[in-house]
């Protein structure tokens, strides 16, 4: 697919840029910003259906919007989990009632979601989850008991989609269901933020102690959770990859300017690393455009999120995870000894503050772990894309 932008795409770009420039005044709250995006119709551009308060855009215009959003410096999205993960899953597997109930509040920026997958004993090995959901004989509702971890934005979310074991005695990927669970259940749902090296707490532990999910809030039918969950993971890496790469380019630009200012760019090894990072970033962009252009688009049922083939999302994750980690290492290297000193304008809210380079270095240490470690991604590529023999696995 040719990603050359035509006159109509450029007009759409001007519209998006003007809208962002007009609205991005001050520091909008995260929920207020989501509602503002909803009013503008900018949530749900890539959904395969419209009529829920969203407007549809073809793949090229989705790319345009992602690029302009990243370039504008707009706030990090709170609603991206609902928009880019849950919504395409509901469009593919949800009932008409589920779509009518949950898609409009996502498109309007009114309800925020988090993802209840990983557990302390089942992170990258998702099939080993132990959270259970027992169905009541009288109401048909599910009582959920268990713990999830590394749950992004759970402290802000109104709802959580939870992968739980609904068949007693089942193992691995059998007997799982995909449940929609309200977070506002005092005494039944507890969120504990996890403090990171950066001093921030985007991730959380979530404890379910008899939390209730309605009978009608099972997506894809009871026992089909593994299929639904795997499809959702495919939706995870679509057009948003391009916006991520624009952010990466901005970070690389800052590292380059720092290298020039400190004189580190005079070192031929540093120059080589800078050029290599630039070339690799360009390669990632063209790979993303190639894989997106070879599909029906992100969010299409049965696709791997616009993956261009099974294993492609894992290839992309391997590429950007390692790249970003190396960029973080270079960011502190070009600073020299100053990289070990915190900024002067420290806040009393934290025991220490970090500048942009320090935050990049520390946060990017996790890039090759979260979302499926590098080892897991290589196994997926080997087994699913290359057809190599499966690794021997021990009994659960």
Average of pLDDT values for 381-388? Answer: 86
- Contact at 8 Å (CB) between 131 and 165? yes
State yes or no: pLDDT of 15 exceeds 90: yes
* CATH code matching the domain that covers 113-223, chosen among 2.40.110.10, 3.50.50.60, 3.40.50.12140, 3.10.20.30: 2.40.110.10
How many Å separate Cα 244 from the centre of its chain?
Answer: 10
The active-site residue out of 34, 67, 83, 236 is 236
* Tens-digit pLDDT profile for residues 64-84: 898 899 888 888 889 999 998
Token pair for 324: 């970003």
- Kindly state which CATH superfamily the domain 237-385 is placed in: Butyryl-CoA Dehydrogenase, subunit A, domain 3 (1.20.140.10)
Tally of CB atoms within 10 A around 243:
20
State yes or no: pLDDT of 240 exceeds 80: no
Q: What is the pLDDT of residue 277?
A: 97
Residue 63 to residue 238: CA distance in whole angstroms? 10
Residues 7-107, CATH architecture: Orthogonal Bundle (1.10)
State yes or no: pLDDT of 21 exceeds 80: yes
What are the sequence ranges of the domains in the chain? 7-107, 113-223, 237-385
Active site residue 236: yes
177 torsion bin: left (phi>0), alpha (psi -120 to 50), beta (else)? beta
Average of pLDDT values for 98-115? Answer: 96
Least confident piece of the model among 6-10, 137-141, 294-298 = 294-298
Q: What is the pLDDT of residue 13?
A: 94
Per-range mean pLDDT, top range of 40-44, 196-200, 230-234: 40-44
State yes or no: pLDDT of 189 exceeds 60: yes
- Contact at 8 Å (CB) between 234 and 313? yes
């Amino acid at each position: 697919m040719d990603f050359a932008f035509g006159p109509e795409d450029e007009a759409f770009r001007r519209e998006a840029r003007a809208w962002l420039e007009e609205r991005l005044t001050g520091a909008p709250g995260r929920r207020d910003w989501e509602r503002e995006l909803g009013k503008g119709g900018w949530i749900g551009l890539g959904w395969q259906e419209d009529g829920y308060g969203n407007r549809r855009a073809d793949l090229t215009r989705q790319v345009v919007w992602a690029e302009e959003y990243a370039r504008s410096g707009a706030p990090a999205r709170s609603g991206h989990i609902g928009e880019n993960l849950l919504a395409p899953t509901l469009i593919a597997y949800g009932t008409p009632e589920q779509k009518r109930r949950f898609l409009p509040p996502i498109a309007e920026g009114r309800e925020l979601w988090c993802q209840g997958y990983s557990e302390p004993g089942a992170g990258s090995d998702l099939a080993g989850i132990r959270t259970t959901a027992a169905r009541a004989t009288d109401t048909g509702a599910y009582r959920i008991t268990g713990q999830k971890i590394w749950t992004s934005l759970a402290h802000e979310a109104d709802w959580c989609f939870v992968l739980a074991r609904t068949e007693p005695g089942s193992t691995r990927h059998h007997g799982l269901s995909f449940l929609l669970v309200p977070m506002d259940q005092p005494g039944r749902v507890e969120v504990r933020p996890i403090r990171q090296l950066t001093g921030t707490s985007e991730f959380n532990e979530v404890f379910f102690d008899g939390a209730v999910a309605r009978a009608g809030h099972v997506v894809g039918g009871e026992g089909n959770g593994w299929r639904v969950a795997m499809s959702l993971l495919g939706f995870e890496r679509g057009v948003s990859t391009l916006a991520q790469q624009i952010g990466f380019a901005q970070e690389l630009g800052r590292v380059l300017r720092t290298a020039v200012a400190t004189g580190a760019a005079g070192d031929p090894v540093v120059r080589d690393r800078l050029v290599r990072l630039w070339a690799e970033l360009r390669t990632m962009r063209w790979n993303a455009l190639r894989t997106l252009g070879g599909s029906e688009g992100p969010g299409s049922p049965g696709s791997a999120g616009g993956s261009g083939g099974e294993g492609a999302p894992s290839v992309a994750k391997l590429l950007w995870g390692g790249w970003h980690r190396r960029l973080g290492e270079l960011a502190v290297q070009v600073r020299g000894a100053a990289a070990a000193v915190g900024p002067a304008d420290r806040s009393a809210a934290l025991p220490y503050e970090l500048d942009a380079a320090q935050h990049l270095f520390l946060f990017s240490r996790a890039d090759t772990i979260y979302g499926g470690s590098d080892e897991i991604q290589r196994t997926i590529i080997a087994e699913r894309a290359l057809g190599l023999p499966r690794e021997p696995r021990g009994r659960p």
